[in-house]
Amino acid sequence: MTLSGRDITELLDRHGLAPSRALGQNFLADPNTVRRIVRLAEIGPDTNVIEIGPGVGSLTIELAATGANVLAVELDRHLLPVLAETVEPLGVRVLHGDALSIDWNDLLGEGEDWKLVANLPYNLATTIVLDLLDHAPSIQSMLVMVQREVGERLAASPGSGIYGIPSVKLALWAKADVVATIPATVFIPKPRVESVMVRITRNAEPAVDVEHEQLMALVRKAFGQRRKMLRRSLSSLVTQDQFDLAGVASDNRPEQLGIAQWAALTAAVAGR
C-alpha cells in the first residue's frame, strides 16, 4: 500500500527523523502521483529497476508492487531503519551508498538492462543523470523527477535559450522529453519550485563518433561565453579554416549548434 502524507509523518516521528534540507529531501506523499509515475515508467514483472534516493519508500513500494526487481540506493543512513520497515519486507534490496561514487558496472553487472525511476535531489539531479549516462551503460532508460528548470534544460533543443552544456552532454548518449508536471503540494515538505518528470532513453550507440572529452572541452569553452560568436569564444582552439571544414558558421553562438555540428567541429580540430 502506497504511503499517504499521514503515514510518512508518523514514520518520521516514530524514528525521530525530519526531512534533511542539506540532502534535498522532499518525500512523495500522494498515492495518485506515485501510481502515475510507475505507469509512465512502464514497469512490470521482472523489470530491473534502480531507485536513487528512495527516502521513506513511497515510490519504492509501488515499484515493488509491480513485481519488478528493485534496487534502492540511499545516501542517508538515518533512513535505513525506515526502509527496513517499509520496503525490505517486499523484497527490495536497499544499498547504503552515494550514487556519485558507486561503481555501477560492478554493481549491475553485464548482460541485463535496467531502468532508473527516481525522485532525485534537486541540487544533484543533473550531475547524477549525466554521470549515469557516462558510466552506467546497463541503465537503458530513466524516468526522473527534477526541478522544472533542470528538466527543461536537459531536454532542450538547439536554438533554445535554455539549451546549454547539459543539453549537449545528454544528446551524446540519449534523447529526453518532459512528460509530466508535478505540483509542490504532493511533497513533504513542499518545495519552493515546480517539478517535472523527464523520460530519458539511451541511444543504441553514441550519437556521434568523436572523442567525447574533446567535444565537451569545446562545448564548455563556448558556453562559458555563450553571448559571444564562436569565432571569438573559441578563438584559442578553432581556426577559421577548421570552422569552414566542419561546415559551421563561425558567427554562430553555441546554442545554435546541435550535437552533429559539435561533432563536426571536434573532428575538424582533431584533423579527422
Helix, strand, coil % over all residues of the chain, rounded to 5: 40, 20, 40
Instruction: Answer yes or no: do 99 and 234 share one domain.
Output: no
Shared domain for 40 and 138, answered yes or no, is: yes
The pLDDT, as a whole number, for residue 103 is: 95
Shared domain for 248 and 140, answered yes or no, is: no
Q: Residue 234 is part of a domain; what is its CATH number? A: 1.10.8.100
**Boundary residue ending a domain (170, 202, 234):** 202
pLDDT in the model for residue 110: 79
Mean pLDDT of the chain: 95
Residues 217 and 193 placed together within one structural domain of the fold: no
Number of domains present in the structure of the chain? 2
Confidence (pTM): 0.94
CATH code, domain carrying 31? 3.40.50.150
Q: Which domain holds residue 234?
A: 212-270
In a domain, 251, yes or no: yes
Same domain, 15 and 126: yes
- Pair 180, 251 in one domain: no
The last residue of a domain, from among 144, 171, 202 = 202
Q: Are residues 108 and 75 in the same domain?
A: yes
Element containing residue 95 per DSSP (H, E): strand 93-96
pLDDT single digits (tens) 160-175? 999 999 999 999 999 9
> In the prediction, which pLDDT does 163 show?
97
Q: Annotate 203-215 with b (16+ C-beta within 10 A) or e (fewer).
A: eeebbbebebebb
Asked whether 261 and 245 are in contact (CB, 8 A), the reply is no
Segment (H or E) for 51 = strand 48-52
Positions in the chain whose pLDDT score sits under 50: none
One domain for residues 166 and 108: yes
Residues 107 and 85 in one domain: yes
Least Cα distance to 50 among 25, 31, 69 occurs for 69
Query: Would the CA dihedral through 168, 170, 174, 178 be positive or negative?
Result: negative
Q: Looking at the structure, do residues 190 and 249 belong to the same domain, yes or no?
A: no
pLDDT at 176: 98
The predicted pLDDT at position 78 comes to 96
- How far is 61 from 147, CA to CA, in rounded Å? 23
Asked, for residue 207, whether it belongs to a domain, the answer is no
Give me the pLDDT at residue 107, please. Answer: 94
Provide the 3-class DSSP secondary structure of residue 31.
Answer: helix
User: Do residue 71 and residue 180 come from a single domain?
Assistant: yes
* Nearest-angstrom CA–CA distance, 236 and 5: 56
